[in-house]
Amino acid sequence: MGRWSRKLAPKFVSWLQVPEGDHWLDVGCGTGALTDAICKYADPASVVGCDPSEPFVQYAREQISDQRCSFVIAEAGTLPTRPFGFGSVTSSLALNFLPQPEAAVEEMRDLAVSGGTVSACVWDYAGRMEYLRHFWDVASSLDPNARGLDEGRRFPICQPEGLDQLFRSGGLLSVSYDPIDIATEFADFDEYWRPFLGGTGPAPSYVASLEKDRREAFASELDRALPRTPDGTIALIACAWAVRGTAR
């Protein structure tokens, strides 16, 4: 997932249109893809990235040397503060994984300056996150138990109506949202399939749970279902929904 988040981050930062020289808070920064894009494309005064995972935070510190950046271990409920608030409080591809996204949005709002931007982006799991959509559609056709693991079913906030309601109920003004598409291309099925064999997350965990013969049957059916270009490339789209609002 990391390579796609790195492609998404610059487009998300550009869409936000946060003024230059603002102070940013990146909630759930992971390995720092969004923090890095903020430094490169938004000309911030500072960026604080926070994540509950110590290995992620350590990796981000090692990879990003920009002096405007700092990283801390923190999670929703104990997010970093700034004496005069942040001009932009954002979260990329993390909001739906939080136990209480409603409380997290309210906390993000409270950490922003009046008139500041609070934002997030999430994958469109139920729609045009195509490389996962094909995976779960085939898995569900072969195994009804797979439906309960499908992120499209598990994360109802990862769609426009859910995000709009989440941000409005969180007390934010002028809420707006848009889709952001990136291309996800694979030279062949092996390149598409390999990340599902050793990673973490619902899809790789589901693959690991299958006996060898069922895993091979699933892979074969998925291979047949994926669309190809004339040269054999698997060319898919990954859509994310971006949402922003203004703090009171």
> Which CATH number do you get for residue 91?
3.40.50.150
Q: Check pLDDT > 80 for residue 1.
A: no
pLDDT tier, 205 (very low <50, low <70, confident <90, very high otherwise): very high
Q: Check pLDDT > 90 for residue 115.
A: yes
The answer to whether residue 197 sits within a structural domain is: no
- Range in 53-62, 89-98, 111-120, 192-201 with the lowest mean pLDDT: 192-201
- Note whether 213 and 137 are within 8 A (CB): no
Residue 214 has φ and ψ, to the nearest 5°, of -70, -35
Confidence (pLDDT) at 235: 97
The answer to whether residue 193 sits within a structural domain is: no
Confidence (pLDDT) at 3: 84
- Mean pLDDT of the region 32-59: 97
The answer to whether residue 147 sits within a structural domain is: no
Residue 168 has φ and ψ, to the nearest 5°, of -70, -40
- Mean pLDDT of the region 3-17: 96
CA-CA distances (angstroms) from residue 218 to 92, 190, 232?
31, 14, 20
Confidence (pLDDT) at 137: 97
Return the SS3 of 247.
coil
Confidence (pLDDT) at 28: 97
Tokens of 47: 């960026």
Confidence (pLDDT) at 188: 96
Where in the sequence is the domain holding 163, given as residue range(s)?
2-124+154-181+239-246
Confidence (pLDDT) at 201: 84
**Percent of the chain predicted with pLDDT > 70:** 100
- Mean pLDDT of the region 24-29: 98
The answer to whether residue 64 sits within a structural domain is: yes
Rounded Cα–Cα distance for residues 239 and 223 (Å): 21
Q: Check pLDDT > 90 for residue 45.
A: yes
Confidence (pLDDT) at 200: 75
The answer to whether residue 98 sits within a structural domain is: yes
- Note whether 218 and 196 are within 8 A (CB): no
CA angle (190 as vertex; 153, 133 as ends), nearest 5: 15
Rounded Cα–Cα distance for residues 196 and 180 (Å): 24
- Mean pLDDT of the region 182-208: 93
- Note whether 25 and 80 are within 8 A (CB): yes
The count of domains in the chain is: 1
The answer to whether residue 17 sits within a structural domain is: yes
The answer to whether residue 149 sits within a structural domain is: no
The answer to whether residue 214 sits within a structural domain is: no
pLDDT tier, 75 (very low <50, low <70, confident <90, very high otherwise): very high
Confidence (pLDDT) at 198: 83
